[in-house]
């Protein structure tokens, strides 16, 4: 690894390597050696930028949560356009076709990582909790625009969509569900609320 590489570049390189390992081999294959080998750098590089491997993993999860928050802002901006079902189908597919399912497996498999993430996500499953908040904000915006019933229970719809979406995409061995399968779940969940 060349010297003088900016910290952000090193972090992104290491996070990208960790994502590839998670997607290819699952959470049990994720070690500091595997990450640095995949990233093409010396093991010391990771430990130069993170106190330990769990600090690195917590940084990875928090970075992915920050990306989700940015996508959530774009989703809220889309309220009132397209159809609610299409917008939700798209966001659930984007969320769960990414590394999110693997990150959930990682979080649930590492006690120390969960403990560190409790500082920023005190309840629920990190990433899924934030994804639920993103959907709740979007559904609230659609309700305010009158595209969902005034009495639509956003606090129930959002986690139901996240849970159902997660289950659709959770099988790492099979091909991901197609858009029609995701849309069917979405329309079933929100069917009584759409106007």
Q: Evaluate whether the domain defined by 63-190 bears CATH number 1.10.357.
A: yes
Beta bridge partners of 194: 148
Phi-psi region of 40 (alpha: psi -120 to 50; beta: other; left: phi over 0): left
For the domain made up of 1-49, the CATH class stated in words is mainly alpha
Q: What angle do CA 56, 73, 116 make, to 5 degrees?
A: 25
Q: Dump pLDDT digits (tens) for 129-152.
A: 999 999 999 999 999 999 999 999
CA distance 158 to 32: 35
The residue written with tokens 């600090």 in the block is: 55
Q: Which pTM was predicted?
A: 0.88
Domain ranges of the chain: 1-49, 63-190
pLDDT tens sequence across 80-135: 999 999 999 999 999 998 788 889 989 999 999 999 999 988 999 999 999 999 99
């Amino acid at each position: 690894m060349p010297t003088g590489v900016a910290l952000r570049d090193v972090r992104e390189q290491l996070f990208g390597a960790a994502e590839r390992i998670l997607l290819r081999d699952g959470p049990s294959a994720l070690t500091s050696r595997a990450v640095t080998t995949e990233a093409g750098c010396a093991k010391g590089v990771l430990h130069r930028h993170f106190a330990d491997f769990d600090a690195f993993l917590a940084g990875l999860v928090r970075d992915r949560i920050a990306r989700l928050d940015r996508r959530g802002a774009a989703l809220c901006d889309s309220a009132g356009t397209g159809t609610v079902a299409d917008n939700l189908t798209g966001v659930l597919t984007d969320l769960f076709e990414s590394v999110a399912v693997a990150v959930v497996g990682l979080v649930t498999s590492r006690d120390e990582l969960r403990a560190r993430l409790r500082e920023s996500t005190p309840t629920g499953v990190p990433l899924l909790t934030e994804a639920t908040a993103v959907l709740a904000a979007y559904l609230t915006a659609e309700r305010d625009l009158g595209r969902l019933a005034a009495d639509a229970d956003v606090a129930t719809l959002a986690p139901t969509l996240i849970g159902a979406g997660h289950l659709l995409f959770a099988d790492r061995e099979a091909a991901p569900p197609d858009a029609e399968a995701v849309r069917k779940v979405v329309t079933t969940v929100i069917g009584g609320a759409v106007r």
